[in-house]
Amino acid sequence: MANMNPKKNPMPTQDAKVRAHNFNEVATGYSEETAIDEALRCLNCKNMPCVNGCPVNIHIPEFISKVKEGDFEGAYEIISKSSSLPAVCGRVCPQETQCESKCVRGIKGEPVGIGRLERFVADWHNAHADGKVTVPEQNGHKVAVVGSGPSGLTCAGDLAKKGYKVTVYEALHTAGGVLVYGIPEFRLPKAIVAKEVETLKAYNVDIEPNVIIGKTLTIDELFEMGYEAVFVGSGAGLPNFMGIPGESLKGVYSANEFLTRSNLMKAYKDEPETPIMKGGRVAVVGGGNVAMDAARTALRLGAETVYIVYRRSMEELPARKEEVEHAEEEGIVFKLLNNPVEILGYENPDDPRDPRNGFVTGMKCIKMELGEPDEKGRRRPVPVKDSEFVLDVDTVIMSIGTSPNPLIKDTTKGLEVNSHGGIIVNEDGLTSRDAVYAGGDAVTGAATVISAMGAGKVAAKAIDEYLSNK
Amino acid sequence: MYKIVTRKSLNPTVTQMEIEAPLVAKKAKPGQFIILRVDDEGERIPLTVAGTNPENGTVKIIFQIVGATTKKLDCKKEGEYITDFAGPLGVPTHTDGIKKVCIIGGGVGCAIAMPVAEEFHRLGAEVTSIIGFRNKDLLILEDEFNACSDRLTVMTDDGSYANKGNVTQPLKEYLEKGEKFDMIITIGPLIMMKFVVETAKPYNIPVTVSMNPIMIDGTGMCGGCRLSLNKDGKKVTKFACVDGPDFNGYEVDFDEAMSRGRMYAEYERHAYEKTCNLFKGADNNG
C-alpha cells in the first residue's frame, strides 16, 4: 500500500546554531524505517519519468522497490550499475531540478525524496559491505583518464567494470578533484570520497597522484605508453576576478583558493600547516553553490559576520535552494542587488612598514536594480546612481566562476577549444583528436558534479564501442 | 613516496637535496619548479628546480630554511622519503635568440639562477654572472657559477668575501661601460629584482625576473599566486604557476608582490618557532 503523505520525510539535520560552528555533516541521513516509509511514497510509474531526469539514468523505481522490501544491498546493486559514486550523488546532486522534478508525486505535493533514498542506500552499503567486488575479466585494453574528479572517476569506473585496465592521473596529491578540494566536509565528508575511490581501486583502477598531464606527461606520451584511448576530465581551471581596484590586497581570495586551503589542505583543523584567514567580517561575491560553500566555510572557521554579495535578486540566485536555505538558517547575511566596485585596503601614511598595510578594510559596493531581460531572459542588473556604500569587511572571497586551465590545450596538438577555452567535443565526448575524449567542466565550464558524471559515462560508452570495434 | 637520494648542507641555512622523481627529471627545464609536501599533513610548497639527472631519475632542489615546512624538510635524512613531489610546473626560461646574457642571482635565488646560467652556457651564449650574498657564510655555488660563466662577480653586503656591496653595482658598471646584453635575468629577493630593473631601465635592456609567490596547487586552479603586470598603462592579472614564473621585469608590480608575500608572515613566524621547538631535542642530539 503506497504512502500517500503529500510531504517528503524531512531530512534530519544538525541544529543550525550548532552546525554553524562545526565541520560535521549538516544532514545526518534517513534511518531504515524512514527510508522504507519514504520509498513507499513511490508509485512505481510504468513510464519512469524520473529516470529521464537523471543524467546517468539510474533505474530509480527499481532501486526504490528494493528499499520498500528492506533489501538495501539489492537497491545498492541497482544504483551501482548506473553510478560509480552513489554516496556522492545522493549528497550533492540538484535532484530538485533533475529526477525529482519529473516525479508524479510532485504534481500535487512533494516528489519522492529520491536523492535522500540514494544517499541512504549508499551509506547503508558502505556501513555493511565488506568492500569486496567482483573484478571482471580483463579485456587487455588500456585507457588513461586525466583527472580524478567526478567525470574522470565515473569514466574510469564504467570502463573498469567492462574489463578495461584504467589508470587515472591526478595533478594533486589526493584523488577526488573538486569533491576533495572544492566541496566542504560539512556537505560531503572526505571519508566518503575516499571510500568511493577505494571501491574503484578494488575494480583494478590505478590512481597516480602528482602527475600533471600537459606537464609531467603529455597526451601524446600517454599513447606512446600504450594507452589506446584517453579521457580528459581536467576540471574548470583558473578563477575569475572582477577587475576592480583592490583585488590584490591581502585578505582577497578566490573561492577556489579559500576552499582549497580549508578542504584539501585541512586549514579548518586546529593548528594547520596551511594557513587561512579566520574570523572577522567576510564578504563572498557571487551567488552560486561555490559561493554558498565559501560563505558557510568562513562562518565555521569563526567569522563573526558573513555576507553573500550578489548583483541580482533572490529569484535569480543560481545556487541550489536547499543550500541557500541552509546558509540563511546558519546566519549568512544576503546582500542582494549589490555589486562591488572597489576593495579598500589599510595604508598608514606615516609608516610604510606598518604590518597592517595592504590588508582589506572594506568593500565599496553600489546598489543595483533589475532592468530589461537579457538574451537569456534574466533581468539585467543596472546600477542605481549615487548609491555607493562601504561594507565593513576584512576578507573578500571572489566566487564568480572560472576559466579553463591552459596546460592540456597548450601541449596537445590538434585539440580544438572554443572561444572560452573549453575543449570541443561531439555528442559522444570525442574531441578533435582521434581516441581523445573529454567531459565535465573542462568542456562545459563550471557546472555540476552530476553533469560531469554524465559526461564521463557517455565517454566511457563511446570509448568501449571504439575499442571493441578497433 | 619520493626518496631523498642525496642531502648536503650548502651553508647553515641552505640545503641541497636530490630527489628520486624520474618523470620530473626527464622533463624539467631551467626556470621550472616543482611542488612538494614533506608529509601527509604538510603544506604544498613550490621550489624551483636546481638541476636534473635524467639518467638517475633525480631532481636537484636547493632551499633556504625560512619556515616550518622547509625546517621539516631540512630534518629529513638521506635515504628517507617525502610524500609528494609534482612537476615540472611553469614555463621554462626563454632562451631563443639570446647570445649575450647577464645572470644576476641573490642569496638562495642563485640556486635557480645557476641552472639558467648553465643552460645559456651549454647553448653557446656569452654568460656574465653576478651573484650576491649577505655575508661570506651564506655564499653558495661559486664553483658552479665559475664553471659556466665567461665572467663572474661575487658580492657580499658586508664585504666579508670578494667585493663589498650589492649586485646592482657591477651591473651598473657594465652598463655604463656600454655592454649590450640581449637580456638580463635576475632571480632573488623581490627588492633586489626591483632594483636590478631600475638599474637597467635607463639602458633599455630587457629584464626577466623570476617570481616566487605563495602558491597552493601550482597547477592553475587556486589563483593564490596571482600578480599584477602593468601592460601599456593597463593592469593585467597573471598567475605565476601557469603564466610564469618568469615575467618581464618592467611590467611587474613589485610593491604589490612584496605586500602579498607577507600575508601570512605572522602565522608563519609562530609555526616556525613551534617547529623549531619540536626539533630542538633532535638538533642537540645530532
**A371 vs chain B: nearest CA distance in angstroms?**
31
List pLDDT tens digits, range A420-467. Answer: 889 999 999 999 999 999 999 999 988 888 889 999 999 999 999 999
Upstream peptide bond of B92 is cis (omega within 30 degrees of 0): no
Confidence label for B281 from pLDDT (cuts 50, 70 and 90): low
% of chain B exceeding 70 in pLDDT: 97
- For residues B111 and B107, what is the distance between their CA atoms, to the nearest angstrom? 8
Residues 6+ apart with CB under 8 A from B264: A275, B214
What average pLDDT is seen over chain A?
93
Predicted TM-score (pTM) of this structure: 0.92
Q: Is B262 exposed, middle or buried, given 0-12, 13-18 or 19+ CB atoms closer than 10 A?
A: middle
pLDDT at A232 over 90: yes
- For residues A442 and A177, what is the distance between their CA atoms, to the nearest angstrom? 12
What letter represents residue A83's amino acid? S
Which region holds residue B97: left if phi is over 0, alpha if psi is between -120 and 50, else beta?
Answer: left
* DSSP 8-class letter at B136: G
pLDDT at B227 over 60: yes
What per-residue string of b and e applies to B99-120 under the rule 16 or more CB within 10 Å gives b? eebbbbbbbbbbbbbbbbbbbb
Count CB atoms within 10 A of the CB of residue B79: 10
**Cross-chain CB nearest to B43 (options A243, A253, A265):** A265
**Is B228 in the A-facing interface, judged by CB distances under 8 Å?**
yes
Confidence label for A76 from pLDDT (cuts 50, 70 and 90): very high
Residues of B in contact with A266 (CB under 8 A): 41
Secondary structure (3-state) at A38: helix
List pLDDT tens digits, range A287-333. Answer: 999 999 999 999 999 999 999 999 999 988 999 888 999 999 999 99
Secondary structure (3-state) at B129: strand
- For residues A435 and A423, what is the distance between their CA atoms, to the nearest angstrom? 14
Predicted confidence at residue B286, as pLDDT, reads 35
Predicted confidence at residue B147, as pLDDT, reads 95
Residues 6+ apart with CB under 8 A from A46: none
List pLDDT tens digits, range B191-221. Answer: 999 999 999 999 999 999 999 888 899 898 8
Residues of A in contact with B221 (CB under 8 A): 181, 235, 237-238, 256, 260, 405
**Is B226 in the A-facing interface, judged by CB distances under 8 Å?**
yes
Residues in chain A: 470
Helix (H) or strand (E) holding A223: helix A219-224
- For residues A103 and A112, what is the distance between their CA atoms, to the nearest angstrom? 7
- For residues B99 and B183, what is the distance between their CA atoms, to the nearest angstrom? 9
Cell numbers linked to A382:
543596472
Predicted confidence at residue B285, as pLDDT, reads 42
Predicted confidence at residue A2, as pLDDT, reads 86
Question: Nearest-CA residue of chain A relative to B217?
Answer: A172
**Is A275 in the B-facing interface, judged by CB distances under 8 Å?**
yes
Predicted confidence at residue B280, as pLDDT, reads 62
